[in-house]
Structure 1
Amino acid sequence: MPPEPVAGPAADIDSLFQRGYDRLYADDSTGAVRAFAAAVCLEPGHGEAWAALAEANGGGAAAVQAYAHAVVVDPGGWMWRVGLAEALRLAGSLNDAIAAYRELSGERADSAIVRLGHARALSVAGRPAEALAEYREAVALRPDDAEAALELAEALTGSGDALAAVELLQPLSRRAPDDAGLHHAVGRAWIALREPEKALTALRRARDLDAEDRLGAAPLIAALEAGEGADLSAAYVRALFDRYADRFDQDLLGKLGYAAPELLRAAVDRVIGPATGLRVFDLGCGTGLAGIGFRPLAGFLAGVDLSPRMVEKARERALYDDLRVGDVVAALEEVPESWNLLVAADVLVYLGDLAPVFAASAKALVPGGRFAATVERSAEEGFTLGPTRRYAHAEAYVRATAEAAGLTIRLMEHCTPRREKGVGVPGLLFVAERPADRPQIA
């Protein structure tokens, strides 16, 4: 029930509405509630009066109750039903809010406000995939809505697709160059993609527009200027290859002359001779190009890749006994001493420090097992990140890092795993072995 109105001179419904909205626009919510409460007491069957009372209450149980009354007395009031769904969300009644929004979107799938409210309720309820789909619909229906775009970008980044977040926000930031929030969000997405220079450009613009730094750009800028965030992230690699999956084979084999799988298979044959029945793990399997060459050696062939779309394509080849989406190092650590052969064709170029993958490989291999891989070759010491966002590794670094993990290099040679702009990319191919008579290094 509404609160008791203040006693006073008799008033008609119109004057009570006028008084209520005057108070509401003057940020006097108490005065607005009292005026609209008087209106519903005067005309209890007036749906708009109940809805105005709900709006004046702002949220919580009182707003839910008032919107519910509005819907009861005026079931055809579409906006009262939208208001009830939103009030339920704000009151924390997420299941009821989601159900209400679902019903509304079933009736009007083209309502951006309903799609956005539904997305917010799903997000708070811990259903990110469903929320992401609703955010996409909301932004498609209202592409210039910066608020909806910012929320979609946050959902995209949270799902691992920060690249899509950047692509969404950058055109908006160009159209609204003085919107600090947009620049700040672009900067955060670039951080997720390990692009510090691009992140700094966006964040500095946000800081210049937000003199009080309410958005918190300053600490992010300080961290980036101190050198944090220069490595490639899993989010970047996953987003890159998810987008590339449909044309991956055509581009790689055609334009880029991709030869890493064949080079690795020939090298493995030289090191181990004829073999069958091996347990083979294809690290960063992509669409399964390496699986084609190594399937004849395998009694059991598994693959792992960060990109769900790539794994879908690999599954279509029907080559693998097991396929999973995930991080290479984490997958290696799951089952120690399980694999006769690990293969990484053109995968380590997305890792800078190879110590974790070598250590995990040494533990994952059975005694006498081998790890065969290609890297891009660096003329400098250690490893370097090139302009193509791929790492190159020095031969001495690869040898030292493998040996530090307890592996013995059985073969190391120069190769050309692929072309770039028609020119062969300098590469290294190696086959490392976990010695049969030597324990792993813990």
Structure 2
Amino acid sequence: MVIGAVPRTAPIPFPDPDPTVALPLSECSACRCADATAVPAVPLPVAALSAATLEEALVAAYAGLGRGDTAAAEVSARAALVLEPDLPEANALIAEILAGRSQFDAAAAHYRVALADGGGPLSWQRDLAAALEAAGHDAEAVTAYREILVRRPDDAATHRRLARLLLRLGESETALEHAREARFLAPDRPADLAGLSDLAEVFVSAGEPLTAAEMLEPALRRADPDGPGLPAARLLLGRAWIALSETEKARRLLVEVLEAGGDAGAHAASLLAGLDGAAGRDLAPAYVRALFDRYADRFDTDLVGRLHYVAPQAIRAALLRLGLADGAPLRVLDAGCGTGLAGAELRSLAGSLAGFDLSPRMVEKARARGLYDELWVAELTAGLAARPGTWDLVVAADVLVYLGDLHPVMAAAAAALAPGGRFAFTGEVTDGDGFRLHEGRRYAHSLPHLHAALAAAGLTLELLEEHQPRWEKGRPVPGFLGVVAKPL
């Protein structure tokens, strides 16, 4: 007899339960249900049990499930377990019923028995992983999901669920790997917004909001306007636009979510309040990263050819005027190195040349130049903080334009420099006392604001001159070039 071949709707009868007789639940060897007060006693016709075969019990169990009578289905499945306690199909059926009652620990125990021989359908392994996760056994759930991927490395749904779990556990990079794989394997699925939102949540929370926006925007255009997952998906897209500094796009979406009410509406209200108080902050790191990851392949051509970018050459010329010379054994850091355009100008001044950038693709391009002794991916202030008191020269060419308040970066540069070290930078200039974000999504800073940030950081100004960092709309952009020093 092949148990797995028993159809769920086979017509073999199995007697209805006798409510006066109950099967001792201690006979459930998988989960010891007798010790779990949440599991009710299950009435079982003992006289019928003695004559029942496994096949009859299983057919009756599946028939009970088929008509939605889980109590009768459990009676018959447990009858099968009395006859054969380790029977995989009966254990899996009971596990399914218990999971439906949110008794996840007991469900997981039965799934383990069902899978004990290393076989069983993949659906049982998926359900075991889900039950472990629902029961709060996260480490075991991770293992269970990974065991599924050993059998089926192309299982997009499991990659997605594992990504979501790893994100919750704080393993963002590994979560992103699985999220990318899920998207690659099923670029147009899952069709339901809830599943798609799970995947988008990983991308938004782990620092790739552009990917989330690319997924959600077309899906929302096709979505049922009355679908239950719509507010949550719109909220996620709003969060993605916020991370990408697309404030107006985010605001329009969040207002729609707010008007719909519910939990998503309350969250939207909080995000809208944050948008209203965001003036003066730096551009979001996720926005800058996404911008330059997309721009990396044509960065050099556009910047040098179309925008007449000459900041690296201008910085080198200024440093030579201040007495630096080729062949100097300086420890040089190219902060926000991009594709390495500044590295070509700095290499001859450096005994060792390091660089970092927020964009991984930019760092790949810089590495391909073969100019740097060391490169890494980091946000600006974090990259400066990585080696305190180390550098003889730090350069930030066309980097300050992505920052609002200059006080934090000047303090970070001062901490990164060795005594007597220099910090050279370029920026765009504006009138007044502070700074402003102009229509090009770049910050311009006033000279009073720059002087105040330098003074607060304890840096001494050695050179400050006019500089045109680039051209836009056929005209040069007004700016400055500065070199400051850390006192000995």
* Aligned partner of residue 322 in structure 2, secondary structure: helix
Q: Secondary structure at the match of 1:309?
A: helix
Matched, 1:392 2:444: yes
1:271 pairs, out of 316, 322, 325, with 322
Contact 1:196–1:229 (Cα < 8 Å) also in 2 = no
CA shift, 1:273, in A, is 4.9
Give the 3 Å change call, closer, same or farther, for CA 228–262 of structure 1 in structure 2: closer
Separation of aligned partners in 1, 2:390 and 2:156: 52
Segment of structure 1 superposing worse, 232-241 or 77-86: 77-86
Residue 35 to residue 117, structure 1, CA distance change in 2 (3 Å) = farther
For structure 2, the 5+ residue unaligned runs are 1-27, 34-40
Question: Distance between the aligned counterparts of 2:130 and 2:416, measured in 1?
Answer: 52
CA 413–143 in structure 1, closer or farther in 2 if over 3 Å, else same: farther
In structure 2, which of residues 194, 204, 210 is the aligned counterpart of residue 147 of structure 1?
A: 194
Q: Please show how residues 361-372 of structure 1 align to structure 2 within 5 Å.
A: 361-372=413-424
The farther-off stretch of 258-267 and 128-137 is 128-137
Q: 1:7 aligns with which of 35, 44, 53?
A: 44
Match of 1:17 in 2: 62
Match of residue 344 from structure 2: 292
Do the aligned partners of 1:207 and 1:217 also contact (CA within 8 Å) in 2?
Answer: yes
Instruction: Measure the CA separation in 1 of the matches of 2:316 and 2:169.
Output: 49
* Offset, 1:352: 0.8
Q: Tell which deviates more after alignment, 273-282 or 328-337.
A: 328-337
Give the corresponding residue for 1:167: 214
User: Which residue, out of 154, 163, 188, partners 1:119?
Assistant: 163
Distance 1:375 1:367 in 2: 24
For the Cα contact (< 8 Å) 1:163–1:240, is it kept in 2?
A: no
Q: Are 1:198 and 2:239 an aligned pair? A: no
2:469 is the counterpart of 1:428: no
Q: Residue 340 of structure 1 corresponds to which residue in structure 2? A: 392
Amino acid of the structure 2 residue aligned with 1:64: A
- Displacement after TM superposition at 1:326 (Å): 1.9
| Paired residue secondary structure (1:85) | helix
Confirm or deny: 8 A CA contact 2:232 2:264 kept in the other structure. Answer: no
2:302 — aligned with what? 251
Structure 2 CA distance, aligned partners of 1:337 and 1:105?
46
| Distance across 2 between alignment mates of 1:334 and 1:116 | 33
Q: How high is the TM-score relative to the length of structure 1?
A: 0.85
How far apart, CA to CA, are the structure 2 residues paired with 1:34 and 1:310?
A: 63
| Structure 1 residue 157 corresponds to structure 2 residue 204 | yes
Q: Which residue of 2 aligns with 1:440?
A: none
Which of 283-292 and 319-328 deviates more?
Answer: 319-328
Identify which range, 257-266 or 8-17, moves more after superposition: 8-17
Name which structure has the greater RCO, CA cutoff 8 Å, separation 6+: 1
Structure 1: distance between partners of 2:149 and 2:311: 50
* Structure 1 runs not aligned, ≥5 long: 437-442
Distance 1:302 1:227, change over 3 A: closer
1:90 to 134, 137, 140: 134
> TM-score when scaled to structure 2?
0.78
**Distance (whole Å) between structure 2 residues aligned to residue 35 and residue 323 of structure 1:** 65
Retained in 2: the 8 A contact 1:20–1:36? Answer: no
Given candidates 387, 407, 421, the residue that maps to 1:355 is: 407
SS of the residue corresponding to residue 409 of structure 1 reads strand
Using a 3 Å threshold, how does the CA distance of structure 1 residues 329 and 114 change in structure 2: closer, same or farther? closer
Contact 1:412–1:430 (CA under 8 A) maintained in structure 2: yes
TM alignment of 1:43-122, pairs within 5 A: 47-58=88-99, 59-71=103-115, 75-122=119-166
CA-CA distance at 1:63 after TM superposition: 1.2
Structure 1 residues 158 and 15, CA, compared in 2 at 3 Å: closer, same or farther? Answer: same
